[in-house]
């Protein structure tokens, strides 16, 4: 590892845009498939190689279909917390979308994550919170059932509601699901929305105006609208940007990616991996790639962690505890 990479690994980090569905490692997938007598859809060596977004999403759904009980979810949660600890992540909010998990109910799914993250934190591993996500393609009835379950089974580890999926359906899905998001916001849950990736700046505006988003997952195409850039800056709306994910999904070339323009504009940009094991990119590697591509210093990368702190949905006491860790590291590089 390079000197910069070693310093990045030591830096306390927050990860704000990460899907639990993207944290299966190949070893676990192969073990689950073998135990159920299910053949792999691809040779093991190319299992996590994808031909476009559709192929990626199909593989993600297939991985999730292998999970059939709460104990397996608990194992996945514990495994992720161990990964986060190894990466120097001190706090993360993990997205889970029940629509991907066809062989397990939401109670066992979210309940298993809660139990696994509780066990991990008791052992000194990072604080992992949960964002339950809707899918833009799903029917209103199934989305309503998810929201009703979340609100009827409140737990401090579940901190927000998200939405992901096909952004070409943004306008329709935002209108359709707006009452559900309003209900969750009124109940004190944070709101984060995937927007401004395959949708343009209008997707981000709709996320803010129709869904009441507190922060935006991706949001990179906001650079196409100076008016929106000013709004994000003035209203201090965080953007959870995934550099490598955007490259792998052919949204930008590395040179053309707008993360530096967003950062230099004073917008609250942070960096995350989206789906680390499926994309085979750790948060340390992600930050090092960004630094090398755009000339960011370790102080810039630390500033992104402070930006991420403004995006979190935990309580003020936890925020202050995280801030102290960031301040301690800042003092070592001053």
pLDDT at position 54 over 80: no
Q: Determine, yes or no, domain membership for 39.
A: no
Q: What is the mean pLDDT of the chain?
A: 95
**Non-local CB neighbours of 9 within 8 Å, separated by 6+ positions:** 1, 87, 88, 284
Task: Give the pLDDT confidence score for residue 5 in this predicted structure.
Answer: 86
**37: in domain:** no
The predicted structure's pLDDT at residue 234: 98
Residue range 90-110: average pLDDT? 97
Report pLDDT digits (tens) over 135-159.
999 999 999 999 999 999 999 999 9
SS (H, E, C) the chain: CCHHHHHHHHCCEEEEEEEHHHCCCHHHHHHHHHHCCCCCCCCHHHCCCCCCHHHHHHHHHHHHHCCCCHHHHHHHHHHHHHHHHHCCEEEEEEEECHHHCCCCCHHHHHHHHHHHHHHHHHCCCCEEEEEEEEECCCCHHHHHHHHHHHHHCCCCCEEEEEEECCHHHHHHHHHHHHHHHHHHHHCCCEEEEEECCCCCHHHHHHHHHCCCCCEEEECHHHHHCHHHHHHHHHCCCCEEECHHHHHHCCCCCCCCCCHHHHHHCCCCEEECCECHHHHCCCHHHHHHHHHHHHCCCHHHHHHHHHHHHCCCCCCHHHHHHHHHHHHHHHHHHC
Share of residues in the chain with pLDDT > 90 (%): 89
Average of pLDDT values for 180-194? 98
- 194 domain residue, yes or no: yes
Structural domain contains residue 271:
yes
- Determine the pLDDT at residue 1: 64
Return d(Cα 226, Cα 246) in angstroms, integer. 21
- Mean pLDDT over 85-97 rounds to 98
- Which CATH number does the domain housing residue 283 bear? 3.20.20.140
* Share of residues in the chain with pLDDT > 70 (%): 100
Calpha distance 22→50 (Å, rounded): 13
Give the residues across from 132 on adjacent strands.
Answer: 96, 161
Note whether residue 132 is domain-resident: yes
Range of the domain at 322: 3-22+71-333
Domain membership of residue 133 (yes or no) is: yes
Least confident of 22-26, 149-153, 182-186: 22-26
Contact 170, 199 (CB under 8 A): yes
In a domain, 105, yes or no: yes
Looking at the domain assignment, is residue 257 inside a domain?
A: yes
pLDDT at 168 over 90: no
Rg from Cα positions in the chain: 19
Q: Quick: pLDDT tens for 247-271.
A: 998 899 999 999 999 999 999 999 9
Q: Provide the pLDDT confidence category of residue 53 given band limits of 50, 70 and 90.
A: confident
| Per-residue confidence (pLDDT) for residue 307, from 0 to 100 | 98
| Number of domains present in the structure of the chain | 1
Cβ burial of 114 (10 Å; 0-12, 13-18, 19+) is buried
| Total-model pTM | 0.95
């Amino acid at each position: 590892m390079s000197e910069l990479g070693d310093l990045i690994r030591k830096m306390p980090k927050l990860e704000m845009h990460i899907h639990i569905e993207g944290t299966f490692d190949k070893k676990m997938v192969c073990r689950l498939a073998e135990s159920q007598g299910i053949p792999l859809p691809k040779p093991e060596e190319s299992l996590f190689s994808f031909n476009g977004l559709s192929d990626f999403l199909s593989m993600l759904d297939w991985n999730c279909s292998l999970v059939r009980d709460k104990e397996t979810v608990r194992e996945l949660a514990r495994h992720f917390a161990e990964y986060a600890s190894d990466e120097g992540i001190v706090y993360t909010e993990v997205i889970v979308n029940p629509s991907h998990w066809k062989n397990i109910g939401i109670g066992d799914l979210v309940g298993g994550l809660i139990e696994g993250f509780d066990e991990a934190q008791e052992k000194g591993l990072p604080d992992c919170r949960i964002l339950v996500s809707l899918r833009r393609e799903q029917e209103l009835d199934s989305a309503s059932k998810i929201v009703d379950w979340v609100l009827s089974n409140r737990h401090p580890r579940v901190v927000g509601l998200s939405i992901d999926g096909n952004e070409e359906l943004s306008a329709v899905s935002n209108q359709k699901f707006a009452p559900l998001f309003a209900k969750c916001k009124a109940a004190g849950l944070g709101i984060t929305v995937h927007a401004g990736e395959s949708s343009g700046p209008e997707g981000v505006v709709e996320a803010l105006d129709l869904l009441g988003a507190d922060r935006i997952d991706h949001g990179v195409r906001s650079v196409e609208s100076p008016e929106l850039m000013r709004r994000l800056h003035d209203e201090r709306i965080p953007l959870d940007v995934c550099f490598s994910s955007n490259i792998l999904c052919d949204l930008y070339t590395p040179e053309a990616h707008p993360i530096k323009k967003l950062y230099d504009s004073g917008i609250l940009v942070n960096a995350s991996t989206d789906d680390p094991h499926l994309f085979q990119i750790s948060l340390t590697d992600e930050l090092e790639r960004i630094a090398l591509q755009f000339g960011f210093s370790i102080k810039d990368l630390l500033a992104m962690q402070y930006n991420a702190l403004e995006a979190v949905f935990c309580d003020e006491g936890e925020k202050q505890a995280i801030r102290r860790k960031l301040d301690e590291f800042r003092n070592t590089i001053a």
